[in-house]
Structure 1
Amino acid sequence: MNAIEPHLLDVNGIQLSLHISGPVDGQPVWLLHGFPECWYSWRHQIHALAEAGYRVHAPEMRGYGLSSAPQDPAAYDLITLCDDIRQAMDLLGHRRVAMIGHDWGAPVAWHLALLEPERVQVVGGLSVPFGGRPKRPAIDTMRKHYQDRFHYILYFQTPGLAEAELEENVPRTLRLLMHGLSNGKNNLAQDKPADGRWLDDLEDPGKPPAWCPDEAFQVYVDTFSKNGFRGPLNWYRNFERSWERTADLAGHLIHQPALFLIGDRDPVGQLEAYTIEKMPSVVPAVEQHVLPHCGHWIQAEQPKTVNLLLLSFLERHFTP
């Protein structure tokens, strides 16, 4: 089995923690995690891809784990997040890569495909689709439709508010989110007052789901015990800034071969149904799969299926 090597890179004004595995001469594959996760959420894919001969790169994204976590929310707009990975690729001499992202990692992967059409040869998104640059920041639509009802992203907008709740008991927070986004229920938008807290109404299951054994769960707990949730939550506080900084990408299509995977129990599928339907018009070469009996944490809930689909996609579109 290939070893996983930890690295710290100085890029884009921060230190980026990066885990690398696979043969040195293997084709580079990047795996970008989402919220509230960490590089270890890709553990099953790292080993499968490395064994297949790819050189796998799994960063701890800005704000997570050993990577730098700036306090200023403006340090987390989408272009800045993309530049972290672009500069890391520069430093490593990457000229041709596969870029795969899950949850928040997916928008970074989609936009890297737009920003680096020559270098990002193939792209994949898990759980979060790409629908092109909207006419207005997505947060504007959320505020309009959820004026009097709770929506998790609106709840995240006030610095310090969600942090206080999520950091009260990190293991409980992670258990609730892991279970809550894999059981087919939508806990992201709830029928309660807009000024309510997110997790107060939920019952702690007392243990992580079966797909996250104790040793894996401890990696997640350690990740959020180090820097807390402020950095990760700051990703959500940049819809307007990211929209402004991507103005020159309006109307651009992703032409590279693309893979999109989502679980049929993923609540993001309900919230993003229109975007998923629209995606082939802006990602013409996209290949889409809906995994049955699967929630949001797709690469950990159904690793064998994800690995088969990912390896098949790369074999067809990302050969030397």
Structure 2
Amino acid sequence: MPQHRELSVNGITMHVAEQGRGPLVLLLHGFPESWYSWRHQFGPLAEAGYRVVAPDQRGYGGTDRPEDVDAYTILHLVGDVVGLIAALGEREAVVVGHDWGAPVAWHTALMRPDLVRGVVGLSVPAVPRASRPPLRLLREQFGDDFYQLYFQRPGVADAELGRDPRATFRRVLGRAPDGGTAPDSPATGFLDRFAEPRVLPPWLTEADVDAFVDQYRRNGFTGGLNWYRNIDRNWELTAPWDGAVITPPGMFIDGDQDVVRGFMPADALPRLVPNLRSVHHLAGCGHWTQQERPREVNGALLEFLSGL
């Protein structure tokens, strides 16, 4: 079972779960998740001889939630990974990220390849830097009601998701979205895209939902939403890396039913990650990759790790 502790990292106090000894593997969760989304990875990776560490990232769970929206840029998030590696007494790590954790993993490998033995993205591929501010492009492609645009409004999605956290997690984790990639309108909200599940899918239990709800009691959803509120700011800050490639060995895993495929294609991965070792598309798998299909994900991770 993973052990829990707090570390001083990049000016914040970070909660981490860790298990095993050996080369460091960092597991970075997405939204709305926590370290717990990697619950199926700790045992197999630790038993194979790795030190597995999954933090609650900035603004989530047991980790500090800075008040300033500007404290959630990609530079802060990469800085957290760099600081975490040092706080753990290590010099390098394999960095694995799912959903929002994937861009953090890709950018850590891009900006600090000296610290990254290998990089793995789940669901979200590395993508080229956009030609224009991303929110403008998303609005042109999907309209004003695209969920990432809805998330820009301070306090609105925060209140909606926090009104009944248990219902939020049952809907978002337990059912695929209905009707495309955006809410019908900002007035109807984000959760209206997700039908209330009568029965949870086999990979998700009521106890799992309880665990997520409990971990969101401290910080709520605002910290995670602030990551979305820096999308355009991140585009500005990453200009110095425009055209640069990710040099560490890489791997990508997604599900063929993942809605992210509709707006973040993986076509550019071989160009952006020239040392891309493998790509895995999991048939019948949705967005919550490592939770839905732990056996296949763990097998792919162990094969990738053994080749480094």
Structure 1 and Structure 2 fold alike (TM over 0.5): yes
Structure 2 CA distance, aligned partners of 1:121 and 1:138? Answer: 30
Question: What TM-score, normalized by structure 2, do the two folds share?
Answer: 0.95
8 A Cα contact 2:91 2:115, kept in partner: yes
Structure 1 CA distance, aligned partners of 2:79 and 2:169? Answer: 28
1:176 aligns with 2:167: no
State the shift of 1:216 in Å.
1.9
Q: CA offsets, 1:131-175, max 9 Å, x none?
A: 132222321201223345x21100000110101111111111111
1:280 aligns with 2:270: yes
Change (3 A) 1:257 1:209: same
Structure 1 CA distance, aligned partners of 2:133 and 2:15? Answer: 30
Structure 2 CA distance, aligned partners of 1:8 and 1:201? Answer: 36
Structure 2 CA distance, aligned partners of 1:216 and 1:193? Answer: 30
1:153 aligns with 2:148: yes
Q: 2:119 aligns with which of 118, 123, 129?
A: 123
Q: CA offsets, 1:248-298, max 9 Å, x none?
A: 11111012111100001100012212xx11111111222211000100001
Match of 1:12 in 2: 10
User: Once superposed, what is the RMSD of the aligned Cα atoms?
Assistant: 1.6
Q: 2:280 aligns with which of 289, 298, 305?
A: 289
Q: 2:246 aligns with which of 251, 254, 258?
A: 254
State the shift of 1:206 in Å.
4.3
For residues 83-102 of structure 1, the aligned pairs below 5 Å read 83-102=79-98
8 A Cα contact 2:69 2:226, kept in partner: yes
Structure 1 CA distance, aligned partners of 2:101 and 2:89? Answer: 22
Structure 1 CA distance, aligned partners of 2:154 and 2:180? Answer: 21
Structure 1 CA distance, aligned partners of 2:228 and 2:139? Answer: 14
For residues 28-67 of structure 1, the aligned pairs below 5 Å read 28-67=24-63
For residues 144-223 of structure 1, the aligned pairs below 5 Å read 144-148=140-144, 150-181=145-176, 185=178, 187-190=180-183, 192-200=184-192, 202-223=194-215
Structure 2 CA distance, aligned partners of 1:263 and 1:15? Answer: 34
8 A Cα contact 2:30 2:98, kept in partner: yes
State the shift of 1:312 in Å.
0.5
8 A Cα contact 1:147 1:194, kept in partner: no
8 A Cα contact 1:71 1:230, kept in partner: no
Secondary structure at the counterpart of residue 64 of structure 1: coil
State the shift of 1:207 in Å.
4.7
Structure 1 CA distance, aligned partners of 2:2 and 2:159? Answer: 34
Letter in 1 for 2:251: L
8 A Cα contact 2:182 2:193, kept in partner: no
Structure 1 CA distance, aligned partners of 2:158 and 2:198? Answer: 21
Identify the range of structure 1 (60-69 vs 280-289) with the bigger mean alpha-carbon deviation.
280-289
State the shift of 1:186 in Å.
5.6
Match of 1:240 in 2: 232
Change (3 A) 1:263 1:49: same
State the shift of 1:178 in Å.
1.0
For residues 295-314 of structure 1, the aligned pairs below 5 Å read 295-314=286-305
Structure 1 CA distance, aligned partners of 2:250 and 2:146? Answer: 30
Structure 1 CA distance, aligned partners of 2:61 and 2:198? Answer: 24
* Structure 1 unaligned spans of 5+: none
Change (3 A) 1:180 1:213: closer
Identify the range of structure 1 (194-203 vs 279-288) with the bigger mean alpha-carbon deviation.
194-203
Structure 2 CA distance, aligned partners of 1:211 and 1:196? Answer: 29
8 A Cα contact 1:32 1:106, kept in partner: yes
8 A Cα contact 2:160 2:189, kept in partner: yes
Secondary structure at the counterpart of residue 7 of structure 1: strand
Secondary structure at the counterpart of residue 6 of structure 1: strand
Change (3 A) 1:201 1:134: closer
Identify the range of structure 1 (210-219 vs 163-172) with the bigger mean alpha-carbon deviation.
210-219
Question: What TM-score, normalized by structure 1, do the two folds share?
Answer: 0.91
Letter in 2 for 1:179: G
